[in-house]
Amino acid sequence: MINYDETLVRQYETFIRDVINDAKNTESFKKGAKLSFRDKAKKRFKFSEEKNWEFLTTSLDTIGDSQFAIVDFLNFGLVNGKSFNTGERYLRLYGVLSANYIQQQSIKELANIFKIDKYQEMDIYFRNSRATRLRHYLSAHPVNYSDNKTKYSFKVDRGSLEEQGLIVIRNTELGTEEFNLFEIIRAEQLIAENYIKLIGMKIVKTLFKTSETVESKLLKQLNSLHN
């Protein structure tokens, strides 16, 4: 059974949140009474826009919230231990695909705010991953999916919504395709962990580049996290 708080996604999200809050609560940040909070945040965190503070906090919240749904799926699957729960199976299918997607969008937003070097690599991966395709096929555009200006429709084989998570997608023109939902979501979690850690490293180096001791201590703490 996976423990939510022990997942690396959650631990990295919490680490980033703590670093940001600690930096915000320092006396040096609180100085400058004539400056608005947004102005002080922009200066301290090297934002390109004042509104980035709101996007930062929303992104962190969304990463943590979506992780609840992803962990629940990995623990209980589509069936959730019930013999007759067709409706819940669809809720869990659509839910985990949406949760994975909004988590990745939030990670991308953090990467954009803090100007991560690998942003383009991240964007390409997230846009083209099997999880993203599956989300587009089923929970976003099942009747209006477009590829090179050609419109397609997709549907899931209801009989494939079983405990093992091997789902079959049907399209009259493209045929059928099988997806192992457990393998896909686990793989996406590994990618998410990698990119969130990179973001954490960039934040530490940005905020504490003039304090080698603090920077070294925080990077050591970040690297020590494990599930």
Closest CA to 203 of 61, 60, 67, 63: 60
| Structural domain span for residue 111 | 7-138+182-224
Beta-bridged to residue 180, according to DSSP, are 166
Digitized pLDDT (tens) for each residue of the chain, 227 residues in all: 999 999 999 999 999 999 999 998 887 787 766 788 898 999 999 999 999 999 999 999 999 999 999 999 999 999 887 766 889 999 999 999 999 999 999 999 999 999 999 999 999 999 999 999 999 999 999 999 988 888 999 999 998 998 888 999 999 788 899 999 999 999 999 999 999 999 999 999 999 988 889 999 999 999 999 97
Residue 81's SS3 state is coil
pLDDT at residue number 222:
97
- 20 assigned to some structural domain: yes
Is 110:61 a contact under the CB 8 Å cutoff? no
Q: Is residue 129 part of a domain?
A: yes
Residue 145 domain-assigned? Answer: no
What one-letter code names the amino acid at 10?
A: R
Residue 213 lies in a domain: yes
177 occurs within a structural domain? no
Provide φ and ψ at 192, rounded to 5°.
-60, -45
The residues that bridge with 176 in the sheet, in sequence order, are: 170
Q: How many domains does the chain have?
A: 1
Q: Residue 2 domain-assigned?
A: no
Alpha-carbon gap, residue 194 to 17, rounded angstroms: 17
Task: Please report whether residue 193 resides in a domain.
Answer: yes
What is the reported pLDDT for 33?
A: 64
The number of C-alpha atoms within 13 Å of 198 and in the hemisphere containing its C-beta is 19
> What is the number of other CB atoms lying within 10 angstroms of the CB of residue 11?
20
Q: Kindly state whether residue 128 falls inside one of the protein's structural domains.
A: yes
Residue-level pLDDT at 32: 65
| Per-residue confidence (pLDDT) for residue 84, from 0 to 100 | 66
